Amino acid sequence: MKGFWLKALAGFAALCATPAIGQDSYDGRIGTGLECVPYARQMSGIQIYGNAWTWWEQAADRYEEGARPQVGAVLVFRPHGVMKLGHVAVVSKIVSGRILMVSHANWSRIGGVRGQIERDVTLVDVSQNNDWSEVRVWWRDNHGLGTTRYPVYGFIYGNSATSGEHIAHVSKDLVSASPDIVGAVIDSLGAAPAN
């Protein structure tokens, strides 16, 4: 009987030692696809869990945050319209002061199915003050830049909020073998800032 209780206590201790994981804990699968949160965590190395819109507040004491893009930084979208849980995408390339390429999951429907991974898609700053507070994103469903203007919190960087030390390691798979930079510039044409 003593052995049973020791095993039960050890099992309970193991459960308590496991970090609490948010809603994406089951592995992020949606049918045959992936949600944005586990994909962003895997690509950026930033270890935050839970719904995408909660990342900004969760990062405050752990990672540096700001309004300027950096490769490997996670852009956190605010909840907006039908996107009630927000969204996260990882900066894969900086094309210009107002054009980025991001890698993310569960944005466009590819073959009619959500949960797909897209790498190096165009994202344009359409904020009036060029502060990355509002963006438009390339949407595969219409083969061009989407018309919706999404509000964002900002960028979470892979540096410690307290020491500034680089603590998150970006995946080598973040960028595709040949990102279409010219295509990103063409996609961004007509994406004027808000008036």
**pLDDT the model gives residue 25:** 35
Amino acid, single-letter form, for residue 29: R
Strand 33-34, strand 63-66: pairing: unpaired
What are the residues whose beta carbons fall under 8 Å from the beta carbon of 140, sequence distance 6 or more? 107, 108, 109, 110, 118, 121
Decide which of 155 and 140 is more confident: 155
pTM tops 0.75: yes
The pLDDT of residue 181 is above 60:
yes
Q: What is the CA radius of gyration of the chain?
A: 19
Read off the pLDDT of residues 116-129 as tens digits, 9 standing for 90 and up. Answer: 999 999 999 999 99
- Where helices occur in the chain by DSSP H, the ranges are 2-17, 36-44, 55-59, 181-188
Q: Contact at 8 Å (CB) between 161 and 62?
A: yes
Task: Write down the pLDDT at residue 23.
Answer: 36
Residue 149 tokens, joined:
């203007």
User: Any idea which residue has 């095993």 for tokens?
Assistant: 7
Which own/partner pairs from 136-142 qualify as long-range (CB within 8 Å, at least 24 positions apart)? 136/191, 137/89, 137/102, 137/107, 138/184, 138/187, 139/107, 139/108, 140/107, 140/108, 140/109, 140/110, 141/108, 141/109
Question: Which is more confident, 184 or 24?
Answer: 184
Q: What is the pLDDT of residue 95?
A: 97
What is the model's pLDDT at position 1? Answer: 53
| pLDDT tens digit sequence for 56-88 | 999 999 999 999 999 999 999 999 998 999 999
If one compares 152 and 110, the residue with the highest pLDDT of the two is: 152
Tell whether the model's pLDDT for residue 39 goes beyond 90. Answer: yes
Taking the alpha carbons of 60, 65, 67, 71 in that order, is the dihedral positive or negative? negative
Looking at the chain, the whole-number percentage of residues with pLDDT higher than 90 is 71
